[in-house]
Amino acid sequence: MKNGLGLKEVNILTYSPLTLAYIGDDAYDLVIRTFLVNQGNMQVNKINKRANSIVKAETQSKMVRVIEPILSDEERAVYKRGRNAKSASTAKNASVNDYRRATGFEALIGYLYLLGRYERMIELIKISLEDIGEL
C-alpha cells in the first residue's frame, strides 16, 4: 500500500497516540464491515446496525480486556499511550473508562495497520470478538 500511494517512511512511534487512534478507528471499522459483508448479502441498514454495535467504545473496551494479557510489550506500550492520551473529545455514549480503553485499542489497531502488521491486527480482533461472543 505504501508503494502504491507513494508514502514516505515514517517512524510510527513519533505519531501521537490520538493520531494512531484516528487511523485505527477507520482500519477497525473497515475490518468489521468487511467481515459482515462477507457473511452474505443482506440489507445495508442491517449491516450498519450490526457494525455500529461492534465498533462502539463499550465493545472495544471489552475486547481490550480479552487481548491485553496476550499483547507484546511493544503492543501494550502503544495501547497504554492511547488509553492515557488526553483527548479534546469526550465519550458520548460510553463511560469515561470505556472510552479511554477504546481509544487505546484504536491506537493499537492504528499502529499495527500503519506498520503493515495486518495478520496480527486481524488475529487480535478475531480473538477478542470470539471471546465476547460477537463472532
**pLDDT tens per residue across span 42-76:** 899 999 999 999 999 999 999 999 999 999 999 99
The whole-model pTM stands at 0.93
Of 88 and 74, more confident: 74
* Candidate list 25, 26, 73, 98, residue with the active-site label: 25
Asked if 83 and 119 count as a contact pair (C-beta separation under 8 A), the reply is no
Q: Which residues of 89-115 are buried (b: 16+ CB within 10 A; e: fewer)?
A: eebeebeeebbbbbbbbbbbbbbbbbe
The fraction of the chain above a pLDDT of 90, given in percent, is 78
Q: Rg for the chain (alpha carbons), in Å?
A: 15
Q: Is 25 an active-site residue?
A: yes
Written as nine digits, the cell of 116 is 503493515
